[in-house]
């Protein structure tokens, strides 16, 4: 299957700073990528849909100025958590859709804001 | 969005046992996938199965799109099968249900 690489796997940052998470499709071009957030023992919550070359579509209740998404190329989408606070601590996961509409997921990023 | 119901929510099995996980969805779909989330959080693709039946080793899946459900069969379960199993219908927005948490004990 296709490979999606997410970096970093874990990050600890101070309150008030920004953190950037990268999601790359290594062996296919992904016109659409998705960003999710997952709290412990809960399901994945879709945050936004990222389309190459256009603005991301955010789900209801997700602050677009807080979670900046950029999809500048067919293989890279980034999520920046701006002015992070402890309540932003979570597990963030990206996925990318291949030409057959099958989704593949990155390894996830565990963010801890202290 | 499409509503997804998975059952059972929790399942504890003795190693070697078989099990069936069910996924019901609220609308017709042209795409359905099963994933296994391991204890480290990684989501592993199991099946891409909009309809019909597929098998991969000890796992198999069946989707009956007209009746809006899919089944995942796990045979001869192993401790490494532990984790959460998700089904996700739809292609454009992958909405997740609450999953089935499987624990396989030796």
Nearest CA in chain A to B30: A101
> pLDDT tens-digit profile of A3-35?
999 999 999 999 999 999 999 999 999 888 999
pLDDT higher than threshold 70 for residue B89: yes
The candidate with the shortest Cα–Cα distance to A69, out of A57, A59, A61, is: A57
Reading the block at residue B1, the tokens are: 């969005």
- By the 8 A CB rule, do B46 and B60 touch? no
DSSP-assigned beta bridge partners for residue A55: none
Mean pLDDT over A95-106 rounds to 88
Strands of B49-99 (E only): list them: 52-56, 59-64, 69-74, 83-89
Cβ-nearest to A49 among B42, B88, B93: B93
Mean pLDDT over A89-102 rounds to 90
Report the pLDDT value the prediction gives residue B91, as an integer from 0 to 100. 62
**DSSP notation for A55-85:** PPEEPTT--TTTEEEEEEETTEEEEEE-S--
Q: Strand B10-14 and strand B100-105: pairing?
A: parallel
Query: How close, in Å, is residue B84 to chain A by CA atoms?
Result: 9
Cα(A64)–Cα(A68) distance, rounded to whole angstroms? 6
Cβ-nearest to B45 among A49, A104, A107: A104
Q: Which of A72-81, B59-68, B93-102 has the lowest mean pLDDT?
A: B93-102
Cβ contact (<8 Å) for B99 and A38?
no
Residues B72, B75, B78: CA angle, nearest 5 degrees? 110
DSSP-assigned beta bridge partners for residue B12: B103
> pLDDT tens-digit profile of A62-84?
999 999 999 888 999 999 999 99
Q: How much is the mean pLDDT over chain B?
A: 93
């Amino acid at each position: 299957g296709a490979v999606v690489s997410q970096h970093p796997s874990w990050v600890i940052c101070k309150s008030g700073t920004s953190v950037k998470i990268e999601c790359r499709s290594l062996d296919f071009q992904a016109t659409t990528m998705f960003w999710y957030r997952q709290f412990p023992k809960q399901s994945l919550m879709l945050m936004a849909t990222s389309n190459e070359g256009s603005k991301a579509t955010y789900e209801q209740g997700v602050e677009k100025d807080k979670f900046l998404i950029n999809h500048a190329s067919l293989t890279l989408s980034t999520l920046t958590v701006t002015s992070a606070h402890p309540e932003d601590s979570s597990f963030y996961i990206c996925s990318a859709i291949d030409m057959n509409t099958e989704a593949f997921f990155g390894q996830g990023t565990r963010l801890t804001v202290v | 969005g499409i509503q997804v119901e998975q059952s059972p929510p929790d399942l504890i099995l003795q190693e070697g046992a078989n099990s069936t996980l069910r996924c019901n969805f609220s609308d017709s779909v042209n795409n359905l996938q099963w994933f296994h989330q391991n204890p480290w959080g990684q989501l592993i693709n199991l099946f891409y199965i909009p309809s019909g039946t597929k098998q991969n080793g000890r796992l198999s899946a069946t989707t009956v799109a007209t009746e809006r459900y899919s089944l995942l069969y796990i045979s001869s379960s192993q401790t490494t099968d532990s984790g959460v199993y998700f089904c996700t219908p739809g292609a454009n927005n992958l909405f997740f249900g609450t999953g089935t948490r499987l624990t396989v004990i030796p």
